[in-house]
Structure 1
Amino acid sequence: MTLITSPSNPRISKLQTLHTARGRKKSGFFLLEGPHLLETLLNAELWPHEVYYQPELLQRTPEGSALLERLLHTPALAPARLIEVSERVIEALGEAQTSQGVVSVLPLDALAPSVIHQRRPHLSRPALLILDDIADPGNMGTILRTALAADVERVLLTPHCVDYYSPKVVRSAAGAHVALPVETNMSWEAITERVVEHCGGQPRVLLAEAGSDQMYYAQDLARPFALIVGNEAHGPSQQAHNLATLAISIPLANDVESLNVAMATGIILYEAVRQQKQALP
């Protein structure tokens, strides 16, 4: 197995370009930082292109030690894919303030929505989520994690959303990239087609918007619907308004004007989960 000790190593310099959208697009790869994301990949039998690891940092916890042992004894990971590095190198590769000792490299096409969809159990999932120009990577990641937990059908991203493969999005999503079908850079025409297909020809498109007199909990969320949540600063786009069949809101007290978009999305999606559970025989 290779050992790299210098952050200025050409191989490391090339990997650092994956912190930018341009670098990811040019190379076709992206980074997943931390033991949890690597374990998620291994559990899904998605084998990284490469893994850069620092043994001493991993061995600081029992979980890290177990992961290192698994990493070194997984037959599908050839020794050439495992690169031991110094603490200086692992810190240069990651973006977290305190490195947890491992960074994985994965091809972008490994997480194609069609591939993820095929691996999912074939279940009825009423909720389709549309993110309309979400700009903050922390919000994006939190929404994706919540969408996976609430078992939405898939997530559609408009072209001006923050980069889905941004390291901050990937960290905040905490493994959602591996298990949740997400279609990126979707035109509103393509989104409309997806909505029609999902809703069986009769689109139900709920637009989360503060001030609507239609409450989210009063809607039938046990049958197929699409939910649009808009940009943090500017709210829903005109295209979102054009596609929506109903604007819904969350009741707010004490002159609070709005909720964080990730929080609002979670509230609505989990009302859908509640209704779906209630509808079961």
Structure 2
Amino acid sequence: MLREVPWRFIKSLSGKKEREKTGMTVVEGPPSVMMALETGVDIEYLVMSRSFFSSPSGAEVSRLLERGPAPRQVFTVPDELFERMSETKSPQGVLCVVGVPFRFKETVPKSPWDKQLEVVGVDIQDPGNVGTLVRTASAVGASSVVFLGSGADPFSPKCIRASAGTVFRVAVRSPRRDVSPTGYLLKRRSEGMEICKTVPRRGVSPWEADLTKSLCLVFGNEAKGLDDEVLSVPGLEISIPMPGGTESLNVAVASGMILYEALRQRMGHS
């Protein structure tokens, strides 16, 4: 059993190569750590700073620890050491290390819908957009969120923080780089999924589309959108009307509008 916190190892997980090599990542901040504890994720290490441990949030984490399942190792460390481990500018005093993909000891995320609602992000670069996409997908009860292409790693500490821990509430997947977005979408289509691609213009509006089917909602890169190869996959193209003349919407905004239209339609059909 470890007597000292493996802070150098934890610090190294800020790098993608080390995360891929070890199959582990860091979850930092009270909302995300508490969500990990509440959903029963298998936690390797949990680390609290001394000041956090004695705070109300620290007391809440301690209560969650008592309810179990327990991490393999729990450490309380001096604030200065915690700051060395943290990759944030303003450390919040608590982090944990979990395996990727996440292993749930008790609760497994489950969608409330009979028809699948899968959210697909292609080449999404910004960790904030990745986290927001996961958070919104979780809120509407999506069955899964899949990230394809060369975008941000959804299991990076930044993306997990941006999701406010909802990455533990919905199944998130990031297939190998040799899985092309087009190949993945064609496979899903062969499995009976409707492919709905979001485009800036000339598509059907979300409220005119039938979003109650088993479908993949596909969102593209922040600057370039979906490339021609992905757009060649047979399916529906959806555009949000912009009568004010704006060229495009941020992917986080667009995904929120379309996903909540899907929720509205599904609630009316449930």
Please indicate, yes or no, whether the TM-score normalized by the shorter chain is above 0.5.
yes
1:67 alignment partner, one of 47, 61, 68? 61
What is the TM-score of this pair, normalised by structure 2?
A: 0.88
Q: Which residue of 2 aligns with 1:259?
A: 249
Q: Which runs of 5+ in 1 are unaligned?
A: none
Q: CA deviation at 1:27?
A: 1.6
Candidates 135, 148, 160, aligned match of 1:145: 135
For the residue of structure 2 that corresponds to 1:141, the secondary structure is helix
Aligned in 2, Cα 1:223/1:116: closer, same or farther, shift over 3 Å? farther
Change (3 A) 1:76 1:206: closer
Q: Secondary structure at the match of 2:118?
A: strand
Pairing 1:217–2:211 present: no
Give 5+ residue unaligned stretches, structure 2. Answer: none
Of 8, 13, 38, the match for 1:13: 8
Aligned mates of 2:141, 2:229 — CA distance in 1: 26
Q: Which amino acid aligns with 2:40?
A: E
Residue 175 to residue 117, structure 1, CA distance change in 2 (3 Å)? same
Shift of 1:196: 3.0
Structure 1 counterpart of 2:87, from 92, 95, 114: 95
Higher fraction of helix: 1
> Is 1:190 aligned to residue 184 of structure 2?
yes
Q: Does the CA contact (< 8 Å) of 1:148 and 1:180 recur in 2?
A: yes
Q: What is the aligned partner in structure 2 of residue 165 from structure 1?
A: 155
Question: Are the equivalent residues in 1 in contact too, given 2:135–2:166 (CA < 8 A)?
Answer: yes
Distance change in 2, residues 1:231/1:75 (3 Å): closer
> Equivalences for 1:36-115 in 2 at 5 Å?
36-60=31-55, 62-71=56-65, 73=66, 76-77=69-70, 81-111=73-103
For residues 27-47 of structure 1, what are the alpha-carbon distances to aligned partners after superposition, in whole Å with 9 as ceiling and x for unaligned? 221000012222212222223
Structure 2 CA distance for partners of 1:122 and 1:264, relative to 1, 3 Å: closer
- Aligned mates of 2:49, 2:138 — CA distance in 1: 30
Q: Does 1:32 align with 2:27?
A: yes
CA contact (8 A) 1:126 1:153 kept: yes
For 1:193, the aligned partner's letter is K
Deviation, structure 1 residue 212: 1.5
Measured at CA, do residues 25 and 116 of structure 1 come closer, stay the same or move farther in structure 2, by a change above 3 Å?
farther
Shift in alpha-carbon separation, 1:168–1:220, aligned structure 2, 3 A: same
Q: 1:66 to 1:182 in 2, by over 3 A?
A: closer
State the match for 2:120 in structure 1.
130
Q: CA deviation at 1:172?
A: 0.6
Structure 1 residues 196 and 179: alpha-carbon distance in aligned structure 2, compared to 1, 3 A threshold: farther
Preserved contact between residue 37 and residue 175 of structure 1 (Cα < 8 Å): yes
Cα 1:135–1:179, aligned 2, differ >3 Å: closer, same or farther? same
Shift of 1:97: 2.5
Contact 1:111 1:178 in 2 (8 A): no
Q: Does the aligned pair in 1 maintain the 2:35–2:165 contact within 8 Å? A: yes
CA distance in 2, matches of 1:116, 1:217: 38
Rounded Cα–Cα distance in structure 2 between residues aligned with 1:140 and 1:119: 19
Q: Does 1:245 align with 2:242?
A: no
Q: Could you tell me which residue of structure 2 aligns to residue 174 of structure 1? A: 164
Contact 2:39 2:108 in 1 (8 A): no
